[in-house]
Copies of this chain bind each other. A is one copy, B any other.
Amino acid sequence: MGGDNAPASVVEGAVLAARGEPIDLILVGDQTAVSAELARHAPASNIRVVHAPTTVGMEESPALVVRRRRDSSIWRATELVAHGDAQAVVSAGHTGASMATAFFLLGTLQGVERPAIATILPTLHGNAVLLDVGATVDSKPQHLVQFAIMGQVYAQRMLSKPSPRVGLLSIGEEDTKGNELTKEAFKLLKQSAVNFIGNVEGRDVYTGDADVIVCDGFIGNVALKISEGLAEAIMQVLRREITQSIGGRVGFLLLRPAFRRFKRRVDYAEYGGAPLLGINGVSIICHGRSSPKAIMNAVRVARDFVVGQVNRHIREDLDRHMAGPVRN
């Protein structure tokens, strides 16, 4: 029921994800609305509907959702995971509600102090993982070290990077640059077994020099949203400039395939949802504006997360980190 174009986009995305794949999907939400959407597509034996009478609104506080909205679609869907009736929950609704419900119903993996949302960024040389992009603000240095370990596992298991390079987002390359948080985290990361390449500046995020970029959730959220806003502004200005002349319009027609390839490369929909790492279960958070394709890819992220046993590997790597000894 979540997202700007729900339930239509979500149902269509689920249908696309279920088609021909050995996967069982449960659509949680208003039975009538969801079934009506579902009826618009070819019948799929591996999709069923579970009723949830209410939906969380975008303006509701996550704390209230946990206390009072246990009949909502996000609560019911997460409950299915908590009870072992599903292996993952995917939502394009209220991010705070998804996080709070997952935190409350599933809890954190043993040893994890704070969860982190990991997003995938397209760079000039392959993809990179940026985390945290909004689960934990005002984080402590040791949280960033845990994010680094979780991000490393995610890059290994989901992006097929056997030894990802982990960078710390800061404002200068030297270890003495940064704020109190990053300077302390730098020291801890240096001593850890993480494949730490040092500080990464904002301008190096999109070069692909780091495979995993670690930061506080406030910073990561600003970085992600400003990137979205800038990319949109650039395309808008470019389009405006281009369509100002006939030559431009003809040129634009000739360039359309290039623009399309470009869009596919940077389109968030290609990368699907962002997992909430550190949770004792699988919760995938989608953009509110998710297209059916983005939902389909988010379901695939959920499947790969389960199949790749990301959580087991996170637990093992964290255990190893806690036990020491240290590499460098």
Q: Which residues of A contact B (CB under 8 A)?
A: 61, 123-124, 134, 137-138, 169-171, 176, 178-180, 182, 201-207, 215-219, 221-234, 236-238, 241-242, 244-245, 247-248, 250-255, 257-259, 261-262, 265-266
Contacts and interface: CB of A to CB of B under 8 A. Distances in A.
Q: Which 9 pairs of residues, A with B, have the shortest CB-CB distance?
A: A202-B225, A251-B254, A203-B229, A202-B226, A251-B255, A241-B258, A206-B233, A251-B251, A137-B179
A242 B250 CA distance: 14
Contact of A221 (B180, B202, B231): B202
Given A218-B171, A219-B222, A261 B233 contact: no
A223 B178 CA distance: 14
A162 to B, nearest CB: 25
B202 A228 contact: yes
A41 to B, nearest CB: 32
Nearest to A229: B203
Contacts of A170: 218
| Most B-side CB within 10 Å, residue of A201, A234, A261 | A234
A140 to B, nearest CB: 12
Contact of A226 (B205, B217, B237, B261): B205
Contacts of A223: 202, 222-223, 226
Given A234-B234, A265-B237, A229 B207 contact: yes
A13 to B, nearest CB: 23
| Most B-side CB within 10 Å, residue of A170, A176, A178, A179 | A179
Contacts of A176: 61
Nearest to A202: B225
A205 B234 CA distance: 13
Contacts of A225: 171, 201-203
Interface of A is mostly: helix
A178 B218 contact: yes
B218 A179 contact: yes
A230 B231 contact: yes
A259 B237 CA distance: 10
A124 B233 contact: yes
Given A138-B179, A226-B203, A244 B221 contact: no
A135 to B, nearest CB: 11
Contacts of A217: 171
Contacts of A230: 205-206, 227, 230-231
A59 to B, nearest CB: 8
Nearest to A221: B171
Contact of A202 (B137, B224, B247): B224
A226 B227 contact: yes
Given A251-B255, A254-B247, A255-B252, A226 B229 contact: no
Nearest to A250: B254
Nearest to A226: B202
23 contacts: A137-B179, A169-B222, A170-B218, A171-B225, A179-B216, A182-B218, A201-B225, A202-B222, A202-B223, A202-B224, A202-B229, A206-B229, A226-B227, A227-B227, A230-B230, A230-B231, A234-B266, A247-B255, A248-B254, A248-B258, A250-B251, A251-B251, A255-B255
